[in-house]
Amino acid sequence: MPVKIALDLDGVLSDSMGRWVEIWNTKYGYPILSVEGLTEWDFWRKLGITQDEFNRIFDEVWQEWPLLKPLEENIDDSVSKIASLGRVDIVSGRVLKHRQYVVSWLKLHEIRYGSLFLGISPKSRLGHDVFIDDSPIEALQIARTRRIVLLRDQPWNRDLGESPYIRRVRSLEEAFEKLRAIILRDTSL
At 2, phi and psi to the nearest 5?
-70, 150
**Angle between helix 99-108 and 51-63 (nearest 10):** 40
Mean of the per-residue pLDDT values for the chain? Answer: 95
Contacts (Cβ under 8 Å, ≥6 apart) of 142: 122, 123, 124, 131, 133, 149, 165
The pLDDT > 90 percentage for the chain reads: 92
- The band of 184, judged by pLDDT with boundaries at 50, 70 and 90, is confident
pLDDT, average across residues 93-100: 95
* Count of C-beta atoms within a 10 Å radius of residue 46: 11
State whether residue 32 is helix, strand or coil. Answer: coil
pTM, entire model = 0.95
Beta strand residue intervals within the chain, DSSP E: 3-7, 86-91, 116-117, 130-133, 148-152, 166-169
> What are 112-132's pLDDT values in tens digits?
999 999 998 899 999 999 999
pLDDT at 189 over 60: no
> What are 55-92's pLDDT values in tens digits?
999 999 999 999 999 999 999 999 999 999 999 999 99
> What are 33-58's pLDDT values in tens digits?
999 999 999 999 999 999 999 999 99
Domain-wise residue ranges, the chain: 3-14+69-185, 16-67
**Measured distance CA(21)–CA(57) in Å, rounded:** 9
CATH number belonging to domain 3-14+69-185: 3.40.50.1000
- The band of 30, judged by pLDDT with boundaries at 50, 70 and 90, is confident
CB 124 within 8 A of CB 7: no
